[in-house]
Amino acid sequence: MSSKTNRLDRFIRQNSDFSLSDTRLLIAQKRIVVDGCLAESIQQRVTEFTEVVLDGKALNLSKPVYLMLNKPAGVVSATKDAKHATVLDLIQHPLKDQLHIAGRLDLNTTGLMLLTNDGAWSRKISLPETKLRKTYEVVLAKPITQDYTATFRAGIYFAYEDLTTQPAELEILTDHTARLSLVEGKYHQVKRMFGFFQNKVLALHRVAVGRLTLAGLETGDSRLLTQQEIKGELID
């Protein structure tokens, strides 16, 4: 889950006017501080989020940001869009322009989204083998029957990708509403799964990602994740 690492001497060359060969002397002169401690070696590993200070000046101002958003309808899951407001337009954070989306939602789908500037973290939680569970509340045009539950648990064949969906848990709430939990994120997967029964999804709301829920987060609001959530506790 760590970010891509780089040797300290290469980092110094990329972020200052000093050469690779200069770094050893800078270390000997105690002019480089890494995360609050004097640098030890030219081969010391640093990441994009390591605080490297040379002669009292920080060479790397990037800090890891992990954020969740309660997305409203009509907001596009993108960082730039010519026609619609984007999720970044809803966020007030000094580093928001560095963020990317870890798990998009359709324009009119609402609910929990994760954003970060840590590519390694977002790739980790997006890997199929991680099996991070996403839970949705769904409103359907037609009544839902118990046949749906068994079919979703068995998996549904998608001919376009030539694959069968992994087992999903469906809880019928009322005749026209249900809660669906799945560990995949295929293109329009929820709508296509209900489409197997010729039942149109009228509203779709993501209420949880793993153990992370929208509790206390109003529509359009966002908050930073806790250290416990960041380190993987959101994964079941």
Q: What is the DSSP string of 73-110?
A: TT-BSSS--SSS-BGGGG---TTGGG-EESS---TT-E
Backbone Cα Rg of the chain: 23
Write down which residue in 35, 58, 81 finishes a domain.
Answer: 58
Same domain, 121 and 197: yes
Check whether 2 has a pLDDT greater than 80.
no
Beta bridge partners of 202: none
Confirm whether pTM is higher than 0.95: no
Domain around 30: 5-58
Confidence band (pLDDT; 50, 70, 90) for 61?
Answer: low
The region that residue 35 occupies, defined by phi over 0 for left and psi between -120 and 50 for alpha, beta otherwise, is left
Which positions are catalytic? Answer: 106
pLDDT tens per residue across span 190-224: 999 999 999 999 999 999 999 899 999 999 999 99
- In this structure, what token pair is assigned to residue 82? 């010519």
Same domain, 103 and 186: yes
Same domain, 112 and 176: yes
CATH number at residue 173: 3.30.2350.10
Same domain, 107 and 174: yes
CATH number at residue 25: 3.10.290.10
Q: Are 223 and 68 in contact (CB under 8 A)?
A: yes
Neighbours of 19 (CB within 10 A): 10
Q: Is beta strand 52-54 parallel, antiparallel or unpaired with respect to 100-101?
A: unpaired
Torsion of CA 5, 6, 12, 14, to 10 degrees: -100
How confident is the prediction for the chain on average, in pLDDT? 91
Beta bridge partners of 11: none
Same domain, 116 and 223: yes
- Number of folded domains that form the chain: 2
Torsion of CA 165, 186, 197, 203, to 10 degrees: 140
Check whether 139 has a pLDDT greater than 60.
yes
Same domain, 146 and 183: yes
